[in-house]
A and B are shown apart, each in its own frame.
Chain A
């Protein structure tokens, strides 16, 4: 029966490796077009992922093979006694130093990526200068505040700001930045297609930048438990050409200021229906 168990323990790592290798083909990998991220930064993140996958796969296959082989030999062992040994200093050093070097390499290798991703000093300058919108998460919807056409986003709401709910439009092919905040509890701005995630913390304004490289409609979800309706914070990010984007803003302006007088935007109106629903 010992052999049977060895095969049993061999089966699982094989199944794991095969299913991981198959994953991209059968759609078990990252979301969207051939599992390709819709942002350049996202593609770099995927690259890091696959690099680590390679390293861990080698380690995994190696350790499992050795383990199963040792079990196989051990179950064959007809000797009176097992080998008497308390360890081996050299081996101990080897298997501390090699993984240590690999891990240190991985740690240093990703520093640039992280800096570009999150550290404000490294953000694209254009995006930092003109944040495209303020994103406010609340139970259980996303609200977006754009500055009026030709103006800059101000920290405080302005009379001529434009608003939308659960639909964020951004132009593609250029870095954009949003200001993320929460009105009530903690939420998380998660754009799987672009590999972007940032918690929205009550009391803080957190800048997030991204650059979509493809047109499309992408799901925006909430990744931090925010109450019973957490799963239904359903919004879309619509990535379109600069022209379409400008058009959208124009339409929005017209919708909100139809009488052309520029009165204070009635920003609470569109949430009333949501509120009564609760």
Chain B
């Protein structure tokens, strides 16, 4: 059944479907599964669970900022009866540290790479599974030791209290703060486990994309989603080892007293801890060398997914397919040389700062190009405002705000003022919450039929979008103003300082918006669980989309395709004349010659060349 087609890349595609073997028992089918789609679903539910945890932590943080030192409703008296339900400053530090940790390491990164990466890579390139299915399974199961470490650190050891950036000396010396003891070591261990998980994922994704593309699937016919995931995997593979090394150094500092990150002569809690010889700056370089690329790890897959979804929703090919790829690559490579923009006030040589500044300014450029391309994709399209479209537009408008506030921070003198104030918090929430999560919401709604064979509810989806969008803007936009007024982040009680006293009402407004936004997520969960069982059955291709996954059954069986697909052209052939359809699947060979009114006659079935109109 498998005819071997000459691969256009010269590489021999792997064409032995491991498909259609016996499903095995419940245990091997749903728990220790090596099927990429099941693993994707495992990642989905785990990360959604973590989203609830991270969201609850965020609401607790916001509670303190709106009603400082007032007893937390409902959970307060139960959690800390000794303090009459109050949040103590120690607990507050731990709250925002864990909030950020959970959101970044257990929500955003695994939902993108884990859920969408796993689900889409084999399906979109026409493979029957990942290159290393067992490694894939392991990458999911390594999330759990991380969750356990974080949980233990939180519940048993008093909680890490040094922020998610874990800057030494605070994070490096056990005496430096409550929660800098065992909790911090456990936290580092947790991060290392997440790192292992990502690393296994990224190796798998790279190998799969390079080696297992179906015949005809050249690199320039890959859907942009795959490009986004591919570039992300490369970023992970290069950046992550640095963080892991840094993490080990911090662990040995803590346990063996190696002093990589602290100098001698410190006096902490009235005692001179040890000899020294290290430098806290070293950690910052190592940390941001990973964590700056990491912000693109949290964004690039969404950029790819949005491109495919938007193009399908407006029934137009993506505008500037190749520029989209080049801009993603530019973001990724520039992403490696701008980590210093997190350190403009750190005491790093200010002249070096200038180099980082210019590089950072330049990284705004590919982001702008992408925004223009998306807008141009909408231009002249046929727009139907369903949940997917709405979330895509939500992504676009939030990303623009986040991108533009980035320019303020690239300007060093302005950044020096804004650094570590709420302006920064506004910026990364616009990007991470605003852009990434809206992209994720769109992606869930869009690929849900492929995952579960059923459609999600549109009314619930739209209401969820509406409330989330209002809540998000109400919560995060005023943060810009807080930042302008100089409110530092990570303050349990900013109103202690005269120049911040008047900010309480604004913070209360934001907290109310946050509660609205948080409650809106209940709709998402209802929608998911209701539709999983009772949603209308979806056919193979409910969106009339063009990419490969829509040629497989919904949900696809273990092994994915009925027969190995062959690919004839690029990924977004919409607005074509294909009988009574306006789209051309990647596996369809040809379509009716277009009417002469269409300018690009000869390029209709081939977008390998960039065409201009």
List chain A residues, Cβ under 8 A from B162: 225
List chain B residues, Cβ under 8 A from A185: 168-170, 173, 176-177, 268
Known A-B contacts A88-B612, A198-B347, A227-B176; A183 and B408 likewise in contact (beta carbons under 8 Å): no
Asked if residues A202 and B380 are in contact (CB atoms below 8 Å), the reply is no
Residue in B closest to A2 when the chains form the complex, CB atoms: B385
Asked if residues A86 and B317 are in contact (CB atoms below 8 Å), the reply is yes
Asked if residues A231 and B496 are in contact (CB atoms below 8 Å), the reply is yes
Determine the distance from Cα of A96 to Cα of B368 in the docked complex, in whole angstroms: 8
Interface stretch of the complex, out of A148-156, A187-195, A258-266: A187-195
Partner of B281, one of A184, A201, A232, A234: A201
Partner of A203, one of B265, B376, B576, B577: B265
Partner of A201, one of B347, B361, B362: B347
Determine the distance from Cα of A20 to Cα of B401 in the docked complex, in whole angstroms: 13
Interface string of B160-192 (1 = CB under 8 A from A): 011100011110010011100000000000000
Known A-B contacts A30-B486, A183-B266, A186-B170; A84 and B600 likewise in contact (beta carbons under 8 Å): yes
List chain B residues, Cβ under 8 A from A104: 361-362
Known A-B contacts A70-B378, A114-B357, A228-B93; A87 and B397 likewise in contact (beta carbons under 8 Å): no
Give the distance to chain A from B30, nearest Cβ to Cβ, in Å: 39
Asked if residues B604 and A229 are in contact (CB atoms below 8 Å), the reply is no
Asked if residues B361 and A204 are in contact (CB atoms below 8 Å), the reply is no
Interface residue? B102 (CB, 8 A): no
Give the distance to chain A from B172, nearest Cβ to Cβ, in Å: 9
Interface residue? A66 (CB, 8 A): yes
Interface string of A98-140 (1 = CB under 8 A from B): 0110011011001101100111000000000000000000110
Interface string of B411-447 (1 = CB under 8 A from A): 1111011011100000000000000000000000000
Asked if residues A234 and B353 are in contact (CB atoms below 8 Å), the reply is no
Interface residue? B607 (CB, 8 A): yes
Interface residue? A67 (CB, 8 A): yes
List chain A residues, Cβ under 8 A from B346: 199, 201
Interface residue? A9 (CB, 8 A): yes
Residue in A closest to B166 when the chains form the complex, CB atoms: A225
List chain B residues, Cβ under 8 A from A1: 385
Known A-B contacts A71-B378, A86-B603, A225-B490; A219 and B613 likewise in contact (beta carbons under 8 Å): no
List chain B residues, Cβ under 8 A from A8: 466
Interface residue? B566 (CB, 8 A): no
Asked if residues B575 and A83 are in contact (CB atoms below 8 Å), the reply is yes
Residue in A closest to B494 when the chains form the complex, CB atoms: A231
Give the distance to chain B from A128, nearest Cβ to Cβ, in Å: 15
Interface residue? B393 (CB, 8 A): yes
Which of B169, B263, B466, B486 is most buried by chain A, counting CB atoms within 10 A of its CB? Answer: B486
Interface stretch of the complex, out of A56-64, A157-165, A166-174, A241-249: A56-64
Residue in A closest to B380 when the chains form the complex, CB atoms: A83
List chain A residues, Cβ under 8 A from B169: 184-186, 202
Asked if residues B603 and A75 are in contact (CB atoms below 8 Å), the reply is no
Give the distance to chain B from A228, nearest Cβ to Cβ, in Å: 4
Determine the distance from Cα of A238 to Cα of B263 in the docked complex, in whole angstroms: 32
Interface residue? B553 (CB, 8 A): no
Interface stretch of the complex, out of B51-59, B134-142, B318-326, B530-538: B318-326
Partner of B598, one of A15, A31, A84, A106: A84
Interface string of B229-273 (1 = CB under 8 A from A): 000000000000000000000000000000000111111111000
Give the distance to chain A from B75, nearest Cβ to Cβ, in Å: 21
Interface stretch of the complex, out of B113-121, B209-217, B497-505: B497-505
Determine the distance from Cα of A107 to Cα of B356 in the docked complex, in whole angstroms: 10
Asked if residues B93 and A230 are in contact (CB atoms below 8 Å), the reply is yes
User: In residues 1-45 of chain A, which contact B (Cβ within 8 Å)?
Assistant: 1-2, 5, 8-9, 12-13, 15-16, 19-20, 23, 27-32, 44-45
List chain A residues, Cβ under 8 A from B170: 185-186, 225-227
Known A-B contacts A89-B612, A199-B347, A231-B89; A63 and B319 likewise in contact (beta carbons under 8 Å): no
Determine the distance from Cα of A69 to Cα of B170 in the docked complex, in whole angstroms: 51
Asked if residues B413 and A48 are in contact (CB atoms below 8 Å), the reply is yes
List chain A residues, Cβ under 8 A from B157: none
Give the distance to chain B from A166, nearest Cβ to Cβ, in Å: 12
Determine the distance from Cα of A28 to Cα of B479 in the docked complex, in whole angstroms: 11
Give the distance to chain A from B440, nearest Cβ to Cβ, in Å: 19
Asked if residues A71 and B376 are in contact (CB atoms below 8 Å), the reply is no
Asked if residues A52 and B414 are in contact (CB atoms below 8 Å), the reply is yes
List chain A residues, Cβ under 8 A from B378: 67, 70-71, 74
List chain A residues, Cβ under 8 A from B383: 2, 71, 74-75, 77
Asked if residues A52 and B407 are in contact (CB atoms below 8 Å), the reply is yes
- 21 CB contacts below 8 A, A to B, read A48-B411, A63-B372, A82-B575, A84-B576, A87-B320, A91-B376, A103-B361, A107-B362, A107-B410, A110-B412, A114-B412, A184-B169, A184-B176, A185-B177, A186-B280, A203-B263, A203-B266, A227-B170, A228-B178, A231-B89, A275-B270
Q: Which residues of A contact B (CB under 8 A)?
A: 1-2, 5, 8-9, 12-13, 15-16, 19-20, 23, 27-32, 44-45, 48-49, 52-53, 55-56, 59-60, 63-64, 66-67, 70-71, 73-75, 77, 79-92, 95-96, 99-100, 103-104, 106-107, 110-111, 113-114, 117-119, 138-139, 183-186, 188, 190, 192-193, 195-199, 201-204, 206, 219, 221-232, 234, 275, 278
Leading 7 A-B pairs by shortest Cβ distance:
A203-B263, A74-B383, A192-B486, A83-B380, A87-B320, A231-B491, A118-B350
